[in-house]
Amino acid sequence: MNDQRVPDAKQEAIAAVAAAAGMTRRTAIGGGIALTLAFASSAFAKPSSAMAANGAWGGYTNGRIPLDALTVIEYPGVNPVGRSMNPMRLEPGCAIAFMALLTRYREDTGSYLPVDEGYRDWDTQNYYYENGIGGAGPPGNSNHGWGKAVDFYQNRVTEGSNYYNWLAANASTFGFTVLRTPPEAWHWNYSGTYTEEDDMTPEQWQRLQDVGTKVSQNADAIASLTASVQTISQYLLLPRTEAGVAGPSTVDNVALTSAKVDRIVAKLGA
């Protein structure tokens, strides 16, 4: 866990206010890719991570998913080779989780994971199967056909390698587990529904819950704070003389609002 990822109380309060307001947060995940994550008040309900390991989604057929229903994965180290589909694509939820995993690896190691393949369409799967490539089975069964599996470079992500050891320690946080039957150290299935809330320690999660509770309990104070900020904004936009006519001086309003902000933030962050 990177300590820089732990928001301080004030940031948590702001995030919680945004969450309570049902705002949409735009999260830059790196590599030029930005995914929009809905961060509504339901974020305070811990989602179940016990989802089916494999499975259909969107009413699609394995290996016959329209490409525009999938999310393109572009990140350093993602370089499909051979007949692997290029660019790499994944089921949207899996894509969010995988980008988070890739980003975390970069943060932890300063390096990049060597990634080969994600979604594999019917024809490609069939080609692998008929030519005995990589022990691929017949089309219609692979998690690659659902866009819920990733292959790293087979000759680099081997058991005991630094890559593998990092994945073994961290991938489950993001909902990925290695294929064991048959043993394929390079193949990782997306076996859950990753959310940012999953990527927290229990202590961080509890703290966020607590902040959410405080936000609910202090809704009136927050509304008052928002009104104060709006008021002071209006004063600051007025010429000095008009501000004087309209009410307390700008300086007084800044001081009053600042004190109010301090009190409420202290209350939320306690």
Point out which residues bind Zn ion (CB under 5 A): 151, 187
Cβ neighbourhood burial of 179 (10 Å; 0-12, 13-18, 19+)? middle
Mention every residue, 6+ apart, whose C-beta is less than 8 A from residue 89: 67, 70, 71, 72, 73, 95, 118, 119, 147
H or E, element range at 34 = strand 33-38
Q: How far is the CB of 35 from Zn ion (least distance, A)?
A: 23
* Closest to Zn ion by CB, 136 or 232: 136
Task: Determine contact, residues 191/143, Cβ cutoff 8 Å.
Answer: no
CB of 164 to Zn ion, least distance (A): 15
User: What is the smallest separation between the CB atom of 56 and Zn ion, expressed in angstroms?
Assistant: 18
Task: Supply φ then ψ for residue 169, to 5 degrees.
Answer: -85, -25
- Closest CB to Zn ion among residues 7, 80: 80
Helix (H, G, I), strand (E, B) or coil at 156: coil
Complex with Zn ion: residue 151 or 198, whichever CB lies closer: 151
Nearer to Zn ion, 125 or 195 (CB): 125
Report the alpha-carbon distance of residue 208 to residue 103 in Å, rounded: 22
State the nearest-atom distance from the C-beta of 76 to Zn ion, in Å.
21
Phi-psi region of 45 (alpha: psi -120 to 50; beta: other; left: phi over 0): beta
CA–CA gap between residue 44 and residue 59 (Å, rounded): 29
How far is the C-alpha of 118 from the C-alpha of 139, rounded, in Å?
Answer: 15
Kindly state the smallest distance separating residue 125's Cβ from Zn ion, in Å: 10
Residue nearest to Zn ion (CB): 187
Of residues 184 and 199, the one with the C-beta less far from Zn ion: 184
Q: 12 or 151: whose CB is closer to Zn ion?
A: 151
Give min distance, CB of 179 to Zn ion, in A: 7
Cross-strand bridge partners of residue 187: 151
Is there a contact between 125 and 139 (Cβ–Cβ < 8 Å)? yes
